[in-house]
Amino acid sequence: MNHDTGAADTHSVAALESGTRTAPGRVGEPGAAEEQFRGLLEAAPDAMVIVDHTGAIKLVNAQTEALFGYRREELLGQSVELLVPHRLRGHHTQHRNAYAANRQVRPMGAGLDLHGLRQDGTEFPVEISLSPLETADGLLISAAVRDVSDRKAAEERISELAALVESSQDAILAKTLDGYITYWNAAAQRLYGYTAAEVMGRHISLLAPSDHHEEIATLLGRLRLGEKVEHFETLRVTKAGVLLDVDVTMWPRRAPDGTVIGACAIVRDISDRKRAEAELTALYEQQRHVALTLQRSLMGTPPDVPGLVTASRYRPATQGAGVGGDWFDLIPLGAGRVGVLIGDVMGRGLEAAAVMGQLRSAAHALAKTGMQPRRLMQALDTCVADLDVPDQLVTCCYLVVAADEAKVTMCSAGHLPVLVAVPGDGAQPLSAPVNAPLGVGNVLYEQSSAAVPPGATLVLYTDGLIETPGCDIEDSLAALAATCGVLFTAAPPGLDIVADRILSALRPDAEGHDDDVTLLLAQLPAAPLASVTTTLSTRPESVPEGRTFLSKALAAWDCHAKADDARLLLSELLTNAVQHAQAPVTLHVCRTPTELTVEVSDSSPHLPEPRRAEEDEESGRGLNLVRILADSWGVRPTDDGKTTWFTLRL
C-alpha cells in the first residue's frame, strides 16, 4: 500500500498513534479523515502493521491479530521484531534501517524469502509490501503482511512433481488435443532420440509408424471425450527409425472448470519384456509339443475293432502343462467280444502322463488275457501301489462288450458313470457297483452285467468333460445325459458328428479348460445273424453229439465251406473238456456276416496252453491244431471255469 502524505492523513495518523478519537465530521475534516483511515485499515484483506522509524508498532488491524495470534494491546508499542523469527531478527533490523534510509514503495513479493512468527512459536512464510508514510511526528512505515503458506506449499509440491517428472525413467510428454507436443522430459529424449527443441510444437504422429497414424487419431478422439487410456500396448518409432514396443497410459488434462484442454502421456519401453514373452511363449509351446507328443505316444492309438463303430475326442488342457493322465483303449478279445477301457490319473503334468502310460500298457496286457473286469481292476490296483507315487489316485472303468449276448460286463474304480444311449429312448447311466479308485488299497472290486440292446452306444468320458468351477457335478451329468438323449434320436447322425456336438454343448470354450478332456463313443454291433447253444455232459459220447449239433447249425446257416474245419476243431476242444473238465459243458455257436465263432465252456479253472508234443505222446496236439487252422482262438476265465473258443472267417 502506498499512502498520500497530506496534512489530513498526518493529522489522522497522529491522532491514532495517541489513541485519541476526534468527532466524526465531513470527509474533508480531520475527524472524518481519521475514521476513513481506520475503516480502510480494518477493511484491508492483509495484516496491516504500521511502525515508526525505531521499529515500534504504532497501529495494527484485526487481520494482524488473527494472523499472528496476539491481541492488539499486546502489540502496540512492541518492536516489530516480535513478529520475526529469532534466527532472522538481526538481519531484519538491518533491513529495516536500510529501508528507512532509502524509502520507497516495495511491492508485495519483491523476491525476498520472508517469514513471520506467531505467538505460539510457529513460523510461516509471508510476503510484505512496504510503504513510507511521512507524518508531523516523523516517518511511519506501513507493512501489508500476507500469509503465503498455501501458495508456498503448492509451489514446493509443483517443484517436487516437476523434479519427479524430469527424473522419471519413463518418457512423459504433454500435448494439445490436436496432438501437438507441449512438454518433453529427459526420459522421452532417451527413449525416442529427439531433444525437446526438436519435438516441441510438432505433431505426436512423428513418433508412430506410418501404419499407426489412424491409431493416433483414435486415441486423441478418446482423450477429447475425457477418457483415460491405460496400458495401451503399441509400436512407436525412434529418431533413428527403430521400432519399439511401448506401453502407453494417457489421460486428459483439464481446466479448473473441468474442460479438457490437453493430454499427458507416460510411455514405457517394453521391448525387452516383449522379447522375453516371445521367447517364453516359444519355449512353452516347444515343451507343450514335446509333452503332448509323449502323452499321445503313451496313450497309443486304439485299433479298429471289427463290428464296433467308435468315435473318440481328446483335448489337452489349454492352461498349465496341458498334459494329463486321461487315457482310453479298445481291446479286441476275440469271439465277438471287445474290451473298452477308460481311465484318469489324478493330477497333471508329465508325472501324471507317465503313470497313465504305465497303467495303460498294464491294463491292455491284462485285458488281452481275457481277464474279467473285476480281476483286471484288482491287478491294476496292485500296479498303482507298486508305482510308489505318493497319494496317487486313479479312476478307471473297464467294460467287456458281448454283442452276441447283448450284454456288457463292467467294473468301475471310482470313475464317472457310463451312459447308454439307445436311439429314440434317451440316455441312461449304466448300473454298476461303486468301487473305490485305484491306489486306495485293500479294496475288493465288484463287477456287474447289464443287458444292452444291439445298436446302443456307450458314452465314456473323463471328469474334464463335465467338471467346471462352480458347477454341480450332478447337474453336469444330467446335462450330458440330456444332450446325448437329443443327439441319439431314432436316426442319429454319425458318431463323429455326435462327439463334436457333445463337446460343443458341454465345453463350448475350446481354449478355456484347465483339465484334459476325453470322450469315447462305442456303438455296439448289430445282433449276430444267428446263434445256438446246447449243454453236454463229460461223457465221451458228447464229442460226436457236439459235432452233430454243429453240423445241423451250419447246414441251417448255409455255411458248408467251413463245416469240415469247424467240426475238426470242435472235436479237439470237446475232447479236452470231456477228459479234463467237470460237467456241465456248454457249446455255443454264433454266426455273423463275416465269421463263425464256436465256444466250449466248462467248469474247470485250469487254462489250457499249446505245447510241443513228443512223438510218442498221444495228447498235446489238439490246441496246436486249433492254433494252426483257426483264424483266431483263445481261452478266457469265467466265474464258473473257463471258455475256449475259435473263429473261422466266412
Confidence of residue 500 (pLDDT cuts 50, 70, 90): very high
pLDDT tens, residue by residue, 124-140: 999 988 888 888 778 88
pLDDT tens, residue by residue, 537-563: 988 899 999 999 999 999 999 888 889
| pLDDT (mean) for 44-65 | 91
Distance of CA 51 to the CA centre of its chain: 75
pLDDT above 50: residue 21: no
Query: What pLDDT sits at residue 417?
Result: 95
Query: What pLDDT sits at residue 320?
Result: 57
At which residue does the C-alpha cell 479298429 appear? 304
pLDDT above 80: residue 172: yes
Assess contact for 644 and 573: CB atoms under 8 A: yes
pLDDT above 70: residue 107: no
pLDDT above 50: residue 9: no
Omega of the bond leading into 209 within 30 degrees of 0 (cis): no
Q: Which of 46-55, 277-286, 344-353 has the highest mean pLDDT?
A: 46-55
Confidence of residue 121 (pLDDT cuts 50, 70, 90): very high
pLDDT above 60: residue 7: no
Query: What pLDDT sits at residue 306?
Result: 73
Residue 630's Cβ-side half-sphere holds a number of Cα atoms within 13 Å equal to: 26
Confidence of residue 31 (pLDDT cuts 50, 70, 90): low
Confidence of residue 222 (pLDDT cuts 50, 70, 90): very high
Query: What pLDDT sits at residue 83?
Result: 93
Q: Which three cell numbers stand for residue 541?
A: 459220447
Among the residue ranges 298-312, 515-529, 604-618, the one predicted with the least confidence is: 604-618
pLDDT above 90: residue 581: no
Q: How far apart are CA 505 and CA 483, in angstroms?
A: 7
Query: What pLDDT sits at residue 151?
Result: 87
Closest CA to 355 of 363, 371, 293, 322: 363
pLDDT above 50: residue 437: yes
Q: Which three cell numbers stand for residue 374?
A: 473285476
| pLDDT (mean) for 38-57 | 88
pTM of the model as a whole = 0.59
Closest CA to 597 of 413, 329, 402, 443: 402
Q: Using CB atoms within 10 Å of the CB of residue 447, give its burial: 0 to 12 exposed, 13 to 18 middle, 19+ buried.
A: buried
Q: Using CB atoms within 10 Å of the CB of residue 49, give its burial: 0 to 12 exposed, 13 to 18 middle, 19+ buried.
A: buried
Average pLDDT over the chain, rounded to whole?
Answer: 84
Query: What pLDDT sits at residue 379?
Result: 93
pLDDT above 80: residue 164: no
Confidence of residue 619 (pLDDT cuts 50, 70, 90): low
Q: How far apart are CA 540 and CA 547, in angstroms?
A: 12
Confidence of residue 169 (pLDDT cuts 50, 70, 90): confident
- Residue 370 DSSP label: T
pLDDT tens, residue by residue, 466-487: 887 778 889 999 999 999 988 8
Q: Which three cell numbers stand for residue 607?
A: 487254462
Assess contact for 34 and 16: CB atoms under 8 A: yes
Q: Which three cell numbers stand for residue 51?
A: 511502525
Query: Between these two residues, 445 and 493, which has the higher pLDDT value?
Result: 445
Query: Between these two residues, 390 and 394, which has the higher pLDDT value?
Result: 394
Query: Between these two residues, 220 and 623, which has the higher pLDDT value?
Result: 220
Sign of the four-CA dihedral 366, 368, 373, 375 = negative
Query: What pLDDT sits at residue 609?
Result: 74
Query: What pLDDT sits at residue 74?
Result: 92
pLDDT above 50: residue 206: yes
Q: How far apart are CA 172 and CA 132, in angstroms?
A: 49
Closest CA to 459 of 491, 487, 490: 487
pLDDT above 90: residue 373: yes
Among the residue ranges 42-51, 277-286, 438-447, the one predicted with the least confidence is: 277-286
Provide CB contacts within 8 A for 264, sequence distance 6+.
172, 173, 174, 175, 183, 250, 251, 253
Among the residue ranges 6-20, 199-213, 438-452, the one predicted with the least confidence is: 6-20
Distance of CA 167 to CAs 171, 186, 207, Å?
Answer: 10, 7, 21
Query: What pLDDT sits at residue 300?
Result: 65
Query: What pLDDT sits at residue 291?
Result: 67
pLDDT above 90: residue 339: yes
Radius of gyration of the chain (CA): 51
| pLDDT (mean) for 183-209 | 93
- List the Cα angle 357/309/453 in 5-degree steps: 110
- % pLDDT > 70, the chain: 87
pLDDT above 60: residue 446: yes
| pLDDT (mean) for 301-325 | 75
Query: What pLDDT sits at residue 363?
Result: 93
- Residue 395 DSSP label: E
Closest CA to 401 of 460, 487, 489: 460
- Residue 177 DSSP label: T
Provide CB contacts within 8 A for 549, sequence distance 6+.
532, 534, 587, 589
pLDDT tens, residue by residue, 244-288: 999 999 999 999 899 999 999 999 999 999 999 999 888 877 876
pLDDT above 90: residue 54: no
3-class DSSP string for 254-298: ECCCCCEEEEEEEEEECHHHHHHHHHHHHHHHHHHHHHHHHHHHH
Query: What pLDDT sits at residue 316?
Result: 79
Q: What are phi and psi of 306, to 5 degrees?
A: -55, 130
